[in-house]
Structure 1
Amino acid sequence: MQLSLRIGIGRMTWVHAISILLFLVMSAPALVAAEGKRIAFVVGVGIYDNLAADKQLKNAVNDAEGVSRKLDEIDFKVVPVINPRRSEFNAKWHDTLKMLGPEDTFVLYYSGHGVQIRGQNYLLPRDVPPIRYDRRELLEDESIRLNKLLEDLSAEEQPHPKYSVVILDACRDDPFVPPEYKKSINRSTGLTRVESPRGTFVLYSAASNRTALDRLGSSDPVKYSVFTRALLPLIGRRDLSIQELTSELKEEVYRLARSAGHEQVPAYYENILGRFCLAGCAAKTDKGTVGFKEDLIATVQPSLHREITGKDGTPMLLIPAGEFWMGVPDLPEWKNIGAYGRHRVYLGAYYMDKFEVTVTKYAMFLRTTNRVQPLHWDQVSLNKHGNLPVVGVNWNDAEAYCLWVKKRIPTEEEWEKAARGTDERIYPWGNNEPTSQLANFGKEIAETFDYHPLLPVGSHPAGQSPYGIQDLAGNVMEWTANERVRGGSWRDKKHVLLSSAVTGGGDPTNGTDDHGFRCAQDAPK
Structure 2
Amino acid sequence: MLTRKICFFFFFLIFICPVSSAENYALLVGINNYPDDISPLRYCVADVLSFRDELINLAGFKRDKILLMTDDTKGNMEPTHINIIMQLGLLAKQIQPPDTFIFYFSGHGIANEVGSFLLSSNSNIVTQDTLEMSAVPLDRVNKILSSLKAQQLLVVIDACRNNPEANRGIEDNFLTDNFSKGFQIHRRNLDNHQPRVSAIFYACNVGERAYEWPDKGHGVFSYYLLQGLKGEAANEKGEVTITDLADYTQNKVLNWAKTYRGKKQTPWLNLTGETRLVLVDKIKPRLLSNDGSSVTDPELEAWKIVKDSANILDFEDFLSVFPHGDLSDVARLKIKKLERVIKPQQVTKPLSQQIQAELDLARQRFNLAKKNNDTVAQVIYRQKEAQLLAKLRQVEAKEKLEQQRNWHNSRLRQPYRAGSQNQSDMVLIPAGPATLSFYLDKYEVTNAQYNRFVQETGHRKPYYWDDEYFNQPNQPVVGVSWYDASAYARWINKRLPSENEWEWAARGGLKNKQYPWGNQEPNTSRANYGRDVGKSSPVGSYPANGYGLYDMAGNVWEWCHDWFSLDRDGKVVRGGSWYSYTYSLSVENRNQLNPDSLDNFFGFRCASESN
TM over 0.5: no
How high is the TM-score relative to the length of structure 1?
0.43
How high is the TM-score relative to the length of structure 2?
0.37
